[in-house]
A = this chain, B = another copy of it.
């Protein structure tokens, strides 16, 4: 699986904005965040754009523009971020269609779909338990 880092970068960005605001700065720029995450500002803008579509952040344009949180970090769960960035399914079915003339080929996809749905639900429950404030506190605890 090519695990993807979108959830990690999104959490990083939100934690960064939250801490920055807490330090008295009104807005954070994609360039500042990109510098912290060691990536390109466009990557950050794309990701924050998805978070904005989910209502987690706001952006402002023009001079002195940037990004702000719409809620406290404690009011944002990792599940919301996960849904916002839409990382796709954890497990995939067959790339092509299995042989429908075979009993196993015919029944395997519905069977695995059910199983995977159950797994994804437990993942969602787990992500719902963690807020971005938890993430920031864990970040600050690393010394």
Q: Which residues of A contact B (CB under 8 A)?
A: 1-9, 11-12, 15-16, 19, 35-39, 78, 87-99, 102-108, 110-112, 114-115, 118-119, 122-123, 125-127, 130, 135-136, 138-142
Contacts and interface: CB of A to CB of B under 8 A. Distances in A.
Contacts of A139: 103-104, 106-108, 111
B1 A4 contact: yes
Contact of A126 (B7, B104, B119, B136): B119
Contacts of A7: 91
Contact of A123 (B1, B4, B103, B119): B119
Given A37-B99, A126-B119, A130-B115, A142 B94 contact: no
A114 B138 contact: yes
Nearest to A125: B122
A10 B7 CA distance: 28
Contact of A94 (B8, B97, B112): B8
A6 B89 CA distance: 14
A22 to B, nearest CB: 11
